[in-house]
Amino acid sequence: MSDRNTPPLELPGLTIGISGPRRRSLAHRLISLTLRWYGARSHYIRPGSRVNVDQLDGLVLSGGTHVHPAIFGQQPRVTARYDRLRDATDHRLLAEARALGMPVLGICRGAQFINVFQGGTLCQNVTPLRVHTRHRPLLLPLQTVRLVADSGLRRWMQASVVGANRIHSQAIRRLGRDLRVVALDNDGFVQAVEGRDGPWLLGVQWHPEYLLYHAGHRGIFRAFVEAALNFKRSRLEPGPEGDSPILSKE
């Protein structure tokens, strides 16, 4: 993966938390590998873990089971796998990360969870609503995604139209507070959101970790690690009155 996404030579001990299901999958190993490529260590967080978020420099909410509809005020309308313990864990992790101003990347379920956390809702099954896009899950980048101009995502991916995969049948319905839509598919379903203001926040509906052979998808991880590095550096700076750095306990 030698291209413009080549990592910097030295990073000051970055640690990224990856929240996922109890058992790690290939997707989570690929995320970890990519973060390591760009200079960051990773710490896998299973449902129910009491990891200290303050010790992290960034948070990835990865893919997995459906977000339970009760979180956004609905009853389940489809047969799906849920993990209420993971929902609770992701909520705590995201709440603490946002309070700290920590960069957050949501992938598939993670993007949906960010939207729900911000007060939005989800469509529980978009499959029967699709007209111009394929109905079956896709691991290959056969889904056309259009990126919004003047967005971080377009800048990081260096493209206005990209190919993406699709695995999940849930999708963002009502947009959450302080988010903006930055990518759509050909049926108009939201494919990515960013935070309007404040700390670095991105959620993508697809799985870029399966598309690392494309420089644009690697660019998402590069931008995230760079944001984590900036966050780390900001915490290492002395306070206004010469206080010790926040991370001195590391």
Please tell me the distance from the alpha carbon of residue 208 to that of residue 217, in angstroms, as a whole number: 5
- Among residues 184, 161, 7, 173, the alpha carbon closest in space to that of 77 is found at 173
- Our answer to whether residue 207 is catalytic in this structure is yes
Q: Of 108, 168, 194, 217, which is the active-site residue?
A: 108
Please tell me the distance from the alpha carbon of residue 227 to that of residue 33, in angstroms, as a whole number: 18
The CA-atom distances, in angstroms, between 24 and each of 27, 42, 94 are 8, 13, 20
The CA-atom distances, in angstroms, between 226 and each of 49, 53, 104, 236 are 26, 18, 12, 15
Q: Of 28, 66, 168, 207, which is the active-site residue?
A: 207
Please tell me the distance from the alpha carbon of residue 160 to that of residue 179, in angstroms, as a whole number: 20
Please tell me the distance from the alpha carbon of residue 197 to that of residue 177, in angstroms, as a whole number: 11
The token duo for 168 is 């999940």
Q: Which residues are catalytic?
A: 108, 207, 209
